[in-house]
Structure 1
Amino acid sequence: MALLLFLFLATTLTISQGSDQETIPHKVHLLRPQSGAGGDHVPGLSCLSWRLGVETNNVVGWITVPEECEDYVGHYMLGHQYRKDSRVVANQAILYAQSLSLARDGKDVWLFDIDETALSNLPYFAQHGFGVEPYNPTLFKKWVMEGQAPALPESLTLYKKLLSLGTKVVFLTGRPEDQRTVTVNNLRKAGYHTWEKLILKGSSYSGKKALVYKSSERKKLEESGYRIIGNMGDQWSDLLGTNVGNRTFKLPDPMYYIS
């Protein structure tokens, strides 16, 4: 029995990427048991349809994942489909980036959000649950301060391709300014070794929505002469508002909603 449990834990996060096997290196925890575990449909609610509504920005303003969908969301995030969906987004971004003719003046930039975009917090959510419990800022900050978040491999692949094409990268995150050092170290440890700017949320944006903060910072970038040729994030608040760039790319994230 112990051997079977070990094998299950060891393989839960082994994700197929083409013909290669790639593992996001972190501890794996069994999902907390719920009725309808792992199913696409539970009585009265299709979790698959709920996730589609989230990703298309038709389901908005939600606080937590529906309780009956926790296992569905957990299995989606820890399984093959999340990585496949992320790969489709990244591949489209690469095709778009390759089609561009850059000015070669150092002003073409690509924006990346950090959490669930450049870096993955799956180790945290696998331990604490997939969005059914209200957001716990104390526990999440503790995780962030450990600086152990792995890269989302598809985003890292895009990042490397952009650098090879001569595009500069700007990270624009909702993390607060007092997390700059740990964020810098975590990004570098995960494989993001260079960037043009790392923008964190300063105290002047306290209490303001992410959409307002990110729109304002993108406007500042463009006013200083940068051209935002691409913009990738996991939340619609990363991609809506003003000065969003020439093209946006939405990564999947049915775990939480940021307005």
Structure 2
Amino acid sequence: MNFLVLPLLFLLATSTATASRLLPNPIHLFGPDSASEGHHVAGSLDCLSWRLAVEMNNLRNWDTIPEECDIYVGHYMLGHQYPSDCKLVADVAYDYAKGLELTGDGKDAWIFDVDDTCLSNAPYYYVDNTYKAKAYNKTEFVEWELKGEAPAVPGIVDLYDKLLELGFKIIFITGKSETTLRNITEYNMKNVGFHTWEKLILRETSEASLDKVEYKSKKRGEIVADGYRIWGNMGDQWSDLLGDNPGNRTFKLPMPMFYLK
């Protein structure tokens, strides 16, 4: 896994995908005020420009947040802007969803990623009162997951409740281990307000070799093969939204701590 800071920056509508690796149409991005505190840093690196480049997927394969931008990311996460950005994405998703005419046959689906789309891992990255440029450590991260203490991402439980009221079948697809993390994931999700779902899909051991785009594409393909219509698809990473069967419309949440491919 390669990690890179990815805060959400602005609205982007892309052309219709003509191949599995092209961007789905459209991806919606929203982001913070360019005047956010911590924007200017010493030296040549401008953290806001850097954030824009990585959010556009122009800069890739970084391992950690640049050290110069620790404070900048901290201001974004701990201030008002991150919750505001998440809520705006959720509001736009709901405006789209409530305008749809569902069939009522139980096959109208909305897909959510789990990590940093529904459950926030921000506390894991918050070290010594700041967000550190820290490399991914699988053992440490699984220890955090097994605590079952992740809070909800701002605005998403409210969107989830509204989608249920509209009649959508909610399907969660996560790269978390089926063998290790099924029970604690269900506990954590229910504890923060995600009380029911059509499917909660976790990664099987046999799927460990698949990269994230391949894995998510495979699972969405199985959902479509079961007769579901994917009206909405929401994630915090580009790899949640790329690949086969991305859905009728996709929505990307901010993720200012890492990049997954």
1:194 and 2:196 aligned? yes
Q: Output the CA distance in 2 between the equivalents of 1:201 and 1:54.
A: 27
What is the one-letter code of the residue matched to 1:171? F
Task: Check conservation: 1:116, 1:234, Cα contact below 8 A.
Answer: yes
Note the alpha carbon deviations across 1:193-226, whole angstroms, 9 max, x for none: 0000001111122132101100010001001111
The match for 2:222 is 220
Structure 2 gaps, min length 5: 1-36
Note the alpha carbon deviations across 1:131-168, whole angstroms, 9 max, x for none: 51210111111111010111113111110110010001
Task: Check conservation: 1:54, 1:254, Cα contact below 8 A.
Answer: no
Task: Check conservation: 1:112, 1:169, Cα contact below 8 A.
Answer: yes
What is the one-letter code of the residue matched to 1:107? K
What is the one-letter code of the residue matched to 1:186? N
The match for 2:40 is 41
Trace 1:173-212 onto structure 2 (pairs within 5 A). 173-177=174-178, 178-212=180-214
Note the alpha carbon deviations across 1:3-31, whole angstroms, 9 max, x for none: xxxxxxxxxxxxxxxxxxxxxxxxxxxxx
Bigger mean CA offset, 198-207 vs 95-104: 198-207
Which structure is higher in helix share? 1
Measured after TM superposition, the shift of residue 75 of structure 1 is 1.5
**Which residue, 216, 240, 252 being the options, matches 1:250?**
252
Bigger mean CA offset, 57-66 vs 190-199: 57-66
Measured after TM superposition, the shift of residue 130 of structure 1 is 3.3
Q: Output the CA distance in 1 between the equivalents of 2:49 and 2:209.
A: 32
Residue identity over aligned pairs, in percent, reads 54
Secondary structure of 1:161 counterpart: helix
What is the one-letter code of the residue matched to 2:38? G
Task: Check conservation: 2:189, 2:195, Cα contact below 8 A.
Answer: yes
Trace 1:76-225 onto structure 2 (pairs within 5 A). 76-127=76-127, 130=131, 132-177=133-178, 178-225=180-227
The match for 1:34 is none
Secondary structure of 1:111 counterpart: strand
Task: Check conservation: 1:111, 1:230, Cα contact below 8 A.
Answer: yes
Task: Check conservation: 2:173, 2:216, Cα contact below 8 A.
Answer: yes
Bigger mean CA offset, 157-166 vs 43-52: 43-52
Measured after TM superposition, the shift of residue 39 of structure 1 is 1.6
Task: Check conservation: 2:113, 2:236, Cα contact below 8 A.
Answer: yes
TM-score by length of 1: 0.83
Note the alpha carbon deviations across 1:89-145, whole angstroms, 9 max, x for none: 111100000110001000011111111111111221113763512101111111110
Measured after TM superposition, the shift of residue 56 of structure 1 is 2.2
Secondary structure of 1:153 counterpart: coil
What is the one-letter code of the residue matched to 1:39? G
Structure 1 gaps, min length 5: 1-37
Secondary structure of 1:185 counterpart: helix
Q: Output the CA distance in 2 between the equivalents of 1:185 and 1:39.
A: 37
CA pair 131-246 structure 1, distance change in 2 beyond 3 A: farther
Higher relative CO (CA 8 A, sep ≥ 6), structure 1 or 2?
2
The match for 1:13 is none
Task: Check conservation: 1:65, 1:130, Cα contact below 8 A.
Answer: no
The match for 1:24 is none
What is the one-letter code of the residue matched to 2:206? S
Q: Output the CA distance in 1 between the equivalents of 2:123 and 2:104.
A: 39
Secondary structure of 1:109 counterpart: strand
Bigger mean CA offset, 106-115 vs 118-127: 118-127
| Aligned pairs, number | 222
Measured after TM superposition, the shift of residue 247 of structure 1 is 0.3
Secondary structure of 2:200 counterpart: strand
